[in-house]
Structure 1
Amino acid sequence: MDIFETKGVKPMLISEQQKAFNSSDWIYEIKLDGIRCIAYLDENGTDLRNKRDKKMLPCVPELKDINRQIKKKCILDGELFVLRNGMTDFYEIQRRALMTDPFKIQLASKKYPASFVAYDIIYDSGKMTTDLPLMERKKILQDTVVENNFISITRYVEENGIALFEAAKAQNLEGIVAKKIDSKYYFDKRTKNWVKCKVMATDDCVICGYIRKANNMTSLVLGQYDAGRLIYKGHVTLGVSLRVLNDYGYNVIQSAPFENVPSGNENAVWIEPKLVCIVESMPTEKESFRQPVFKGIRDDKLPHECVVTK
């Protein structure tokens, strides 16, 4: 069946790599702090969906006409983001993704309008492009999109990954993504052909509880899965607000969801392990987080997908 009609595309995944590198066999792109989305575009309209196939257009109605910027029927892989003070703001786009009130959505869209940046094309005028080398897909993408304030094409540099990484670091950006120039596109697969080199390490964790602290501070109790068992991963306090949990909703439970609970959690309020969050920290060889910062809730990932990295 035609995937344009069936939808449900699961994008290619990106592997982790801490250290930036140079190579003539790779291109390098800035990593944006947004929501990965698939855009289905033709003369009849725009359909934006996240990795869990949730329709995003109701949250970002300002993007309803980006199909008019496309020269032919296509499916694009890219990032939905919001700029705030000249920087991509993950919390702002996640907050928008939660909104249901049309009036509030309209206000937010005027204050911080969303944009979609495409970095790959996987369907072109009825034909799949996934078996083509990356640079051929980039050429088709370039010939397909007419850029404006709401849709654009990601820029890349060749060979000089270290220089781009250092530039990203200087601008307090998340890092870069390196892609092999001959790489094909594999749905829902993580290969070594696409890797991210990040200034800060990020982990996806399950929120298992919270602890109220002095000065109206709150710490979240975190967990990840290891061989099917939820294990304790520590706390995050910086960037945390109970308002975020309230926005998403949570259920209090009577006991910890871990088999073993380390000391320091005696005053925790345990919650059903249903919410996934992003935690940013300084890179470390240890299992615990170093200077962790709460980056936001992500609703495009399930709790059991948050696994301990070996």
Structure 2
Amino acid sequence: MYISPMLLQKSSEAFSDDTYLSELKLDGIRLTLYKSNGEVKLYTRHKNIVSNKFKELLTIDIPNGTVLDGEIIVTDSRGHPCFESMMERFQSNHSNHKIQYCVFDVLFYKNKNVMSRTLIERKMMLEEFLPQNDQIVLVKYLAGHGLEYFNLVKEQGLEGIVLKKASSIYRPKSRSYNWLKVINYQHDEVYLTGLRKNNFGVFLSFNDGSPAGIMEFMKPEDRKILYSEYKKYAIRETKDFIFLEPRLKGKVKYRNLTRKGYLRIPSFEHWIKN
């Protein structure tokens, strides 16, 4: 049974409200787990069946007719979720990264639809029946204290938090302000040093000239400025790329640095005059 998961709406800032539950935002892959007739199936949010990739979860001891929602992660040496390691495990059968399935919701229990129950009721159900071990973890939460929790997450360099209305029901395939994500974005000043000709993409460099990765998110008005200016600084061109002098500068936000030192998912904020 595939159920398209409920999605998170973006919030620009954290807040403290006792009617919301605060959870850590986990940097991994969203998975729903369904057990029927002793068989476990794992689905990505795009309905791909990936059960054979995570065989350590196929013996989970939960009742038949149960559907769980959660995030599958790989942690680094600090115990922090590492998306790159998670993708290595996801893409290769030879990866030895250990996974954890972090469960935060139950949608069906013993063939009964429980999505119309409140979130806090569903959380309490999970606490009663979910087995926990090295591979399966029940996601912890706080009532309120969102702002304080977000500040702690920033200090630890983690991805962000999730704020969920305690009284909310589960609405598959919908994005609701009852479920909010607050991302701990990092910010930096970079040079725009190249353009991809086909699919939009901008090469970025740090102030010291080292590569900072490729940016694909830029508002239409900023793209218009870029296309009106870049020809002044073009120094070389190939079939697929145009390379620029490091003269155009801007501020970007991003999730974190990759292991290669690139900006992860950079997004343009504004131009900086040299």
> TM over 0.5: same fold?
yes
Q: 1:79 aligns with which of 62, 67, 71?
A: 71
The reply on whether 1:97 has 2:60 as its aligned counterpart is no
* Aligned pairs, number: 239
Offset of residue 131 of structure 1:
1.2
Greater Cα radius of gyration, structure 1 or 2: 2
Q: Secondary structure at the residue paired with 1:87?
A: coil
TM-score (norm 2): 0.73
Aligned to 2:148: 163
Offset of residue 138 of structure 1:
1.0
Q: Secondary structure at the residue paired with 2:122?
A: helix
Distance 2:239 2:251 in 1: 20
State the AA in 2 paired with 1:83: T
Aligned to 2:252: 289
Distance 1:186 1:57 in 2: 24
Distance 1:233 1:30 in 2: 37
Superposed CA deviations along residues 24-65 of structure 1, whole A, max 9, x for unmatched, are 211110111111111112452221111111122333333232
Distance 1:190 1:201 in 2: 25
Distance 1:167 1:198 in 2: 13
Give RMSD over aligned pairs.
3.7
State the AA in 1 paired with 2:156: Q
Aligned to 1:39: 33
TM-score (norm 1): 0.65
Distance 1:28 1:93 in 2: 24
Matches within 5 A, 1:1-310: 4=1, 7=2, 9-65=3-59, 67=60, 69-85=61-77, 86-99=79-92, 102=93, 104=94, 108-109=95-96, 112-200=97-185, 208-209=200-201, 211=203, 217=211, 219-223=213-217, 232=223, 260=227, 263=230, 267=236, 289-290=252-253
Seen in structure 2, the aligned counterparts of structure 1 residues 175 and 292 have a Cα distance that, compared at 3 Å, is closer
State the AA in 2 paired with 1:55: I
Unmatched 5+ stretches in structure 2: 188-197, 241-249, 260-266, 270-274
State the AA in 2 paired with 1:133: T
Offset of residue 218 of structure 1:
6.7
Unmatched 5+ stretches in structure 1: 235-257, 272-286, 297-306
Distance 2:238 2:257 in 1: 18
Distance 1:60 1:261 in 2: 49
State the AA in 2 paired with 1:184: I
Seen in structure 2, the aligned counterparts of structure 1 residues 292 and 11 have a Cα distance that, compared at 3 Å, is closer
Offset of residue 137 of structure 1:
1.1
Identity of aligned residues (%): 23
Q: Secondary structure at the residue paired with 1:21?
A: coil
Offset of residue 221 of structure 1:
4.6
Distance 1:84 1:117 in 2: 15
Offset of residue 162 of structure 1:
1.9
Distance 2:234 2:176 in 1: 38
The answer on whether the counterparts of 1:207 and 1:223 sit within 8 Å (CA) in structure 2 is: no
Aligned to 1:253: none
Seen in structure 2, the aligned counterparts of structure 1 residues 82 and 133 have a Cα distance that, compared at 3 Å, is same
Distance 1:62 1:261 in 2: 54
The answer on whether the counterparts of 2:16 and 2:147 sit within 8 Å (CA) in structure 1 is: yes
Seen in structure 2, the aligned counterparts of structure 1 residues 233 and 197 have a Cα distance that, compared at 3 Å, is farther
